[in-house]
Structures are given as structure tokens and as C-alpha cells.
Amino acid sequence: MTDLRQRLLDEAAVFTAENGWASLTMAKLGQRVGVSRQTVYNELGSKPALADAIVAQELAKFLAAVEEELSSTDDRVLGIQRAVSRVLTMADENVLMRAVLSSVHGANSDLLPLLTTQAQPIIDSAGDMIVARIETEHPDQPIPQDELLVAVESIVRLVMSHITAPTISTGRAAEAIAWVAASLLSELPESLSDS
């Protein structure tokens, strides 16, 4: 990623958090970064492409946190609980995420569908990372591939649901999701050392 592209993405996220996605234009973004509107288009493409790039950048941060937490312990359930807790905390503290989610409560955000009705790319990316990790750590795991994909997608969707519409505390949600995940993935060895 070029330095200019990174600066544009960072500034677009800041602008969106401050003013809303609907207020962002390529001309305003270029002005804030000190380049022409055409340069912004050349670097990022269309506004929908910019939205996808911002979401991908934020998703990468969340997936890195999940990977870090899952790697921090040999206890699968504890790793899941830590990963979920960290993701929910990051989502709550993320200024851009809060701005997008505030549209649920009356503010305007054309980005909200990227976390709700058009979230399949996020679900797929997160699911692919988790399935790849399971397959690497448990190459002989007994869960059929199609069932593993359904289980992992269900877990990711549950986390997304708690991000977009939390009803319980982060700690309780992390415990509950870890319990569900452990139940769905119960055929895997209990810890990495058992594989």
C-alpha cells in the first residue's frame, strides 16, 4: 500500500467519524490530504471502493487482534473468550465504528449496511482466517468441512451481532460466545497440545 493511499484511508476514516460518510466527497478528502480530487480517484477509485478499502483496513486490525489472542494460550475456549472480548472492546472504542453504528440510533451512515445486511465479505474474511487456523492446528480434526464452515460462520455472525446490537456486557458476551464456540467445535481436541 502506498503512503498516499494509507493517508487517504486514514483521513477518510477520521472525516467519517467526525462528519459522517454522507458528507465525505473525494474533493473534500483530497483537500484534507493536500491532493487533487482526481488524485484521490486515481488512488482509490470510486466512493464505494473507498468504503470497501476502509472496511478492509479496519477488519485487518480486528483479525490481527483475534490472531494474537488465539495464539496467546493453548486453551481453545480461553483463547476464543479473549479474542471475542478484545474484538468487542475494540469495536466499542473504535471512533469510526461508533460513528457507523450510531446510525442505528438516528444518525445517517451509508456504511452501516457493510456491517449488517452487506457484511458477508467481513464474515467470509473472518471465517476463512479462523477455519485456516483450525485446519493448521488440527489437520486431522474430525468435523466435516461443510459443518466446520457453518459452525465458524455462526460464531462470527454471533460476534457481529454483539457488535451491532449489544444486549449484555462485553465480558458476559465473550463468555457466552466462547461457550457456544466450544459447543459447536467440541469434536476438536481441548487444547493445542492435544493435537
- The per-residue pLDDT for range 81-99, each reduced to its tens digit, is 999 999 999 999 988 888 7
Query: Residue 195: inside a domain, yes or no?
Result: no
**Tens digits of per-residue pLDDT, 5-42?**
999 999 999 998 888 888 899 999 999 999 999 999 99
Q: What average pLDDT does this structure show over 136-142? A: 82
Query: Residue 194: inside a domain, yes or no?
Result: no
Residue 61: predicted pLDDT: 94
Q: For residue 36, what is the domain's CATH number?
A: 1.10.10
Indicate whether 68 and 162 sit together in one domain.
yes
Indicate whether 70 and 94 sit together in one domain.
yes
The angle formed by the CA atoms of residues 91, 96 and 99, to the nearest 5 degrees, is: 95
How many Å apart are CA 110 and CA 52, to the nearest integer?
12
* Other residues' Cβ atoms within 10 Å of the Cβ of residue 60: 11
Query: Residue 79: inside a domain, yes or no?
Result: yes
- Which one, of 80, 91, 93, 105, lies nearest residue 162 by Cα? 91
* Other residues' Cβ atoms within 10 Å of the Cβ of residue 64: 11
Indicate whether 41 and 65 sit together in one domain.
no
Residue 21: predicted pLDDT: 85
Indicate whether 153 and 179 sit together in one domain.
yes
Cβ proximity of 78 and 174 under 8 Å:
no
Q: Is the pLDDT of residue 195 over 60?
A: no
Indicate whether 62 and 127 sit together in one domain.
yes
Indicate whether 154 and 58 sit together in one domain.
yes
What is the gyration radius of the CA atoms in the chain, in angstroms?
A: 19
Query: Residue 96: inside a domain, yes or no?
Result: yes
Cβ proximity of 65 and 87 under 8 Å:
yes
Indicate whether 148 and 65 sit together in one domain.
yes
Strand partners, 75: 191
Indicate whether 153 and 83 sit together in one domain.
yes
Indicate whether 112 and 177 sit together in one domain.
yes
The pLDDT mean for the chain works out to: 87
User: Which has more confidence, 144 or 12?
Assistant: 12
- Which residues, including other chains, have CB under 8 Å from residue 115's CB and lie 6 or more apart? 100, 101, 122, 160, 163, 164
Indicate whether 180 and 130 sit together in one domain.
yes
Residue 117: predicted pLDDT: 82
Query: Residue 180: inside a domain, yes or no?
Result: yes
Indicate whether 59 and 32 sit together in one domain.
no
Query: Residue 27: inside a domain, yes or no?
Result: yes
- Which residues, including other chains, have CB under 8 Å from residue 72's CB and lie 6 or more apart? 79, 82
Structurally, how many domains does the chain consist of? 2
Coil, strand or helix at 106: coil
Indicate whether 41 and 59 sit together in one domain.
no
Q: Is the pLDDT of residue 191 over 50?
A: no
Query: Residue 183: inside a domain, yes or no?
Result: yes
Query: 32 is in which domain, residue-wise?
Result: 1-45
How many Å apart are CA 163 and CA 24, to the nearest integer?
24
